[in-house]
Amino acid sequence: MAGLKIGLVLSTNASYRRAVARGRPYSSWAPATLAVLAALVPTELKAEVRTFDLVRQKIPDDLPSCDLVGISAITCGAPFAYQLADDLRNRGVTVVLGGAHPTAVPEESLAHADAVVVGYGERTWPRLLRDFAEGRLQPLYRDFEDPFTSSVPFMDRSHLKGKGYFFDRVVEFSRGCPNGCSFCSVAGMNNGRVYCRDRRELMEELTALGKSVLFLDSNFTGNPDRVRPLWEGLRDARIRWYCAASLRFASDPELVDLAAVCGCRGVLIGFESINEASLRSSRKSFNHPREYSEAVARLHRRGIPVLGCFVFGLDGDGADVFERTVDFVSRAKVDLVRYAVATPFPGTPLHERLQREGRLISGNWEEYDTEHVVFRPLRMTPEQLREGHRWAYRETYRLSRILSRVRARSLPRSLIANLGFRSLAYTFDDLQGETE
């Protein structure tokens, strides 16, 4: 079969789809998934490929005219992905499901698809498409091996244009993380391994992107021996870059100095909790709250702003955790903050433990979005967790709090970013209303 019509859909939950329907989609940076999958389509199939990110776009009426539709879904996007898949299959369209959620629960996903991709797609997706073209599609395609063992095509960035992303110069250097945090789906998928792209190939791609890029890696510093030579290449090319890293990076003065010299202009740090007990319960005891303030100050001294991420509701958290965390954020002058409700994603040790302890209170995957409370916390009520999460956002992004955190040397840019994040503080009633 030649001249295939392929549709690629990135599914999401109701709140994002509702925002798109209102004509006011949430601002976001570009994801890599659709651009990577489009680039992996074998050229001999001469396929017409169309992509749809439901965080930014509506589903087109003519999607059922495709020969095959691939739907990628995280957990909160799974219910709609299943609904869409069922509708398309009823119309005679072949449907493939993949992504984090189908990887965690392939049997569940197979009930809604002709085939499921488990794990990485660099090898399985092209093989699946060739099998489909030859009439021998298999129900399950599985691959957890190094996705970068051979040269992979660059993203097809044409599929990132026109979707209204506030930043589309995104790139990926590595996959995986050496840490084994119990709430993280990345750890379960990679078993502590970190896979890295060929540095020379990546630099070729980066050179074409311009002078400012965002690395989408879950933990950009997960393999320091491989990342140092890359940073030196970024320095020589005078590329400014942003990334996500662990506290281990921020606690290493030599590594922070090197990152600053090599062009780092912002870093997301997963602090997760200010409670030692909560960190121990989530297998993140390598984070030490006593080091947080100095880590932030060290990054600031080198001119690197910090987006700090915190998780509420872990087993060491009582009802006082919200005020204590907000106060720490103000004292340490964390530039931007993202608060999440602890969420036991399927396939993670946290989900297995809470299920075993009988503490899960919701089986609605759409609520597994880090904003809803889907389990009974150990030291507070679900209502206290829900309201405390909302309060922390609103308190952190009060104008007086923002002004107390914004540093003079980065005043205009930091103030604008904080005011943008401030809008998040007022979205949670809408988020809760979608599924409660």
Contact between 219 and 175 (Cβ < 8 Å): no
- For residue 307, is pLDDT > 80? yes
Residue 432 has pLDDT above 60, yes or no: no
pLDDT tens-digit series, residues 134-157: 999 999 999 988 888 877 789 999
For residue 75, what is the DSSP state?
G
Going by their DSSP bridges, the two strands 68-72 and 94-98 should be labelled as parallel
What's the rounded Cα separation, in Å, for the pair 237 and 132?
42
pLDDT over threshold 60, residue 73 = yes
* Domain locations in the chain as residue ranges: 5-143, 169-435
- Helices and strands: H and E segment counts in the chain: 19, 14
Residue holding tokens 């070729």?
204
Between CA 68 and CA 88 the distance in angstroms is: 9
pLDDT at residue number 43: 94
Beta bridge partners of residue 51, listed in sequence order: 8
pLDDT for position 16: 87
What's the mean pLDDT when you consider all of the chain? Answer: 91
- Which alpha helices (DSSP H) does 40-158 contain, by range? 78-90, 100-104, 106-110, 124-133
User: 């989609």: which residue's tokens?
Assistant: 25
Beta-sheet pairing, 336-341 with 306-312 = parallel
Query: How high is the pLDDT of residue 186?
Result: 76
pLDDT beyond 60 at 430? no
How far apart CA 343 and CA 336 sit, in angstroms, is 21
Task: Tell me, rounded to whole angstroms, the distance of Cα 323 from its chain centroid.
Answer: 26
pLDDT on residue 434: 47
Average pLDDT over every residue of 23-29: 85
- Please determine whether the domains at 5-143 and 169-435 fall in the same fold group of CATH: no
- For residue 13, pLDDT over 80 is answered with yes
Sign of CA dihedral 417, 418, 422, 425: positive
Residue 215 to residue 237: CA distance in whole angstroms: 16
Checking if the pLDDT of 190 tops 90, the result is no
Is residue 118's pLDDT more than 80? yes
Residue 1 pLDDT exceeds 80: no
What is the C-alpha to C-alpha distance for residues 309 and 373, in angstroms, rounded to an integer?
18
Looking at residue 425, its pLDDT comes to 57
Class (C level, CATH) for 169-435 = alpha beta
Say which range, 33-47, 231-245, 394-408, has the weakest mean pLDDT: 394-408
Beta-strand runs (E) in 128-248: 140-143, 170-171, 174-176, 194-196, 212-215, 240-245
Q: Between 224-236 and 199-209, two packed helices, what is the crossing angle to 10 degrees?
A: 40
For 14, half-sphere exposure in the C-beta direction (CA atoms, 13 angstrom radius) is: 17
Segment 287-306 mean pLDDT: 94
Q: What is the mean pLDDT of residues 416-430?
A: 65
User: What does each C-alpha distance from 77 to 17, 55, 74, 283, 348 come to in angstroms?
Assistant: 10, 10, 5, 27, 17
Q: Parallel, antiparallel, or unpaired for β 5-10 and 48-53? A: parallel
> Can you tell me the mean pLDDT for 345-364?
96
Cα separation, 338 vs 324, whole angstroms: 15
Tell me whether residue 238 is exposed, middle or buried, using C-beta atoms within 10 angstroms of its C-beta: 0 to 12, 13 to 18, 19 or more.
Answer: exposed
| Token pair listed for 395 | 């308190």
Specify the pLDDT at position 436: 40
In contact, 400 and 372? CB cutoff 8 Å? no
- Maximum average pLDDT range among 1-10, 217-226, 374-383: 374-383
Q: Is the pLDDT of residue 435 over 60?
A: no
Distance from C-alpha of 96 to C-alpha of 343, rounded to nearest angstrom:
26
pLDDT computed for residue 153 by the predictor: 87
| Average pLDDT of the residues in 427-434 | 49
- Binned at pLDDT 50, 70 and 90, residue 188 comes out as low
State mean pLDDT over 118-144. Answer: 96
Residue 217's pLDDT band (boundaries 50, 70, 90)?
A: very high
Contact partners, residue 64, CB within 8 Å, separation at least 6: 88, 91, 92, 93
pLDDT tens-digit readout, 219-237: 998 888 899 999 999 999 9
* Average pLDDT for 76-104: 97
Residue 263 structure tokens:
């062009």
pLDDT of 85 strictly over 80: yes
Of the spans 5-9, 158-162, 428-432, which averages the highest pLDDT?
A: 5-9
**Predicted pLDDT at 151:** 75
CATH number of 5-143: 3.40.50.280
Q: How far apart are CA 325 and CA 302, in angstroms?
A: 24
pLDDT reported for residue 237: 94
DSSP state letter for 32: S
Cβ neighbours of residue 150 closer than 8 Å, sequence gap 6 or more:
none
CA distance 280 to 288: 10
